[in-house]
Structure 1
Amino acid sequence: MGDAQNIIKIAKAEVGYHEGWSDGHWNNHQRYSPAVPGLEWSQNQAWCATFVSWCAMQAGLAGLYPRTASCATGVDWFKQRKRFSAYPAVGSQIFFGSGGGAHTGLVYAYDDDFVYTIEGNTNADGSAEGDGVYLKKRERRSSYVYGYGYPAFAQGIDSADPAWKGKAPSVAKPGSGVVALATGVAPGAHHPQVRDLQRMLIAAGYGPIQGAVTDFYGPKTQAAVNRFHLKNPQCMSKGKSYDPAIGPAGFRALQVQAGRR
């Protein structure tokens, strides 16, 4: 299952969930804020962005979406990475309202006229008071739709943006199974391609990696990468005796050793 479908599956499983009710009103008390490290403070506040952050964390894609309770901060996060578009994409984060600061959700499909989303802190009737997680159908050209943040999925992204057509991850050799190292794969980082790195390290005999397979480039993965470098010093960063950071050339060499061609 690809990254986009993974987070979509997790988000759809939450459809039908409702926040708390007190004194005759929905009260924004929900289960997502306490479950996202760093966003515990957002309990009892608008939680649409927190819901997206929770879904990303559950999918092992926390590094590909902004961890924030603020829609405006989410817009800035994608724009700083030059991954913001006026066109929908599967798995993208959609933003609504002036500057994108009013509301947010996840896109699970789109067509020529509509975008289909999973949104937290919304409702079925379009009123101002959100109460739960719903599937929504939005007009693509509505003035309420501000734009879309594109996560850096390892498999590329299914986008309606003409400028993004063909921007799938690069391949080292045409027709081969050897793929290029993605930007952001580094010690201490979360990235979906870390799973692939861990699998290749284990397959090539540089394991075991306790706790694998995950998207976290933690100390156990770093130690395995160093074991690879000790046997392949030509791939090691110049002058280092301990090198836990895989580089593009090393990643290609590792894949070949693991049996990819």
Structure 2
Amino acid sequence: MGDAQNIINIAKAEVGYHEGRSDGHWNNHQRYSPAVPGLEWSQNQAWCATFVSWCAMKAGLADLYPRTASCLTGVAWFKQRKRFSEYPAVGSQVFFGSGGGAHTGLVYAYDDDFVYTVEGNTNAGGSAEGDGVYLKKRERRSSYVYGYGYPAYIEGIDSADPAWKGKAPAKPASQLVALASGVKPGARHAQVRELQQLLIKAGFGPIPGSVTDLYGTETQKAVGRFHDANPRYRSVGVAHDPKIGPSGFVALQKLAGRR
């Protein structure tokens, strides 16, 4: 299964989800904002772009989509990378309204006349008040459709754009990141959450009490298990070394499946 189909499947599995209600109205309170690191602040706001960011994160494709709650920021992100088109593509991010700033979703199919999408913070009837995740059918040539951002899928992209026909797949950007200097035993740091998630995914969990920003005792034990299995990355002469180093952090990311 390719990357495009992977994110489409994740998005479609959310169809039927509804945000919260208060005082007789939908209130934009949903589960996606708290689950996307860096977008927690967007809770109770319009969440169509946040939904796409969540889907990309769940699919392991966070680097191929803009992580943002802003549709305009998403448009700018794709345009900066020269991956924006007026033609639909499978797995592309579609943007609606003036400058693409009104609404967004994911394209799962297209034909000569229509584009078929999964969209968050929308509704079945077309009113201005979105309430959940829906499958939508949009007219391709509607003035409401602004354009499409093309993720750099490793398998290439199925696009209606003549300029993209036969274009070689873009080489995906590396997902590997550097270790921050503040990540050390006993400290609090935002990247500790990522460290804990990587340790668990690579099989060095469990880490009771995770996921948090505290590099506490249980995280140190998990790092020790990583070093016991990969002694070349531990400090010389330190058994069950609890401190992750820069090269060990890169190796851990690879063990967890990052490219």
TM-score past 0.5 threshold:
yes
Paired amino acid for 2:140: R
2:28 counterpart of 1:28: yes
CA contact (8 A) 1:4 1:90 kept: yes
Matched ranges for 1:1-261 at <5 A: 1-169=1-169, 182-185=171-174, 187-188=176-177, 211=202
CA contact (8 A) 2:63 2:175 kept: no
1:176 corresponding residue in structure 2: none
Paired amino acid for 2:49: A
**Structure 2: gaps (5+ residues):** 179-200, 204-225, 233-246, 251-259
**Whole-Å separation in 2 of the counterparts to 1:100 and 1:186:** 27
Structure 1 position 186, deviation (Å): 6.3
Count of aligned pairs between the two proteins: 188
Q: Does the C-alpha gap of structure 1 residues 162 and 39 become closer, same or farther in structure 2, counting only changes over 3 Å?
A: same
Paired amino acid for 1:184: A
**Whole-Å separation in 1 of the counterparts to 2:132 and 2:109:** 20
**Whole-Å separation in 2 of the counterparts to 1:61 and 1:135:** 21
Structure 1 position 169, deviation (Å): 2.6
Q: Does the C-alpha gap of structure 1 residues 186 and 67 become closer, same or farther in structure 2, counting only changes over 3 Å?
A: closer
Give a deviation string over 1:175-196, Cα, whole Å, max 9, x none.
Answer: xxxxxxx25236428xxxxxxx
**Whole-Å separation in 1 of the counterparts to 2:18 and 2:34:** 15
**Whole-Å separation in 1 of the counterparts to 2:94 and 2:176:** 30
2:219 corresponding residue in structure 1: none
**Whole-Å separation in 2 of the counterparts to 1:11 and 1:169:** 23
1:233 corresponding residue in structure 2: none
Runs of 4+ in 1 over 6 A off after TM superposition: none
CA contact (8 A) 1:157 1:168 kept: no
Paired amino acid for 1:158: D
Give a deviation string over 1:166-220, Cα, whole Å, max 9, x none.
Answer: 01338xxxxxxxxxxx25236428xxxxxxxxxxxxxxxxxxxx829xxxxxxx9
**Whole-Å separation in 1 of the counterparts to 2:175 and 2:152:** 15
2:193 corresponding residue in structure 1: none
Paired amino acid for 2:99: G
Paired amino acid for 1:129: E
Q: Sequence identity, in percent?
A: 84
**Whole-Å separation in 2 of the counterparts to 1:29 and 1:42:** 9
**Whole-Å separation in 2 of the counterparts to 1:125 and 1:17:** 16
**Whole-Å separation in 1 of the counterparts to 2:169 and 2:45:** 38
Question: Which SS does the other structure have where 1:33 is aligned?
Answer: helix
**Whole-Å separation in 1 of the counterparts to 2:163 and 2:10:** 29
**Whole-Å separation in 2 of the counterparts to 1:9 and 1:66:** 19
**Whole-Å separation in 2 of the counterparts to 1:169 and 1:58:** 22
Q: TM-score, normalised by structure 1?
A: 0.68
Paired amino acid for 2:165: K
CA contact (8 A) 2:115 2:137 kept: yes
Q: TM-score, normalised by structure 2?
A: 0.69
Paired amino acid for 1:185: S
**Whole-Å separation in 2 of the counterparts to 1:126 and 1:211:** 44
Question: Which SS does the other structure have where 1:90 is aligned?
Answer: coil
Structure 1 position 25, deviation (Å): 0.2
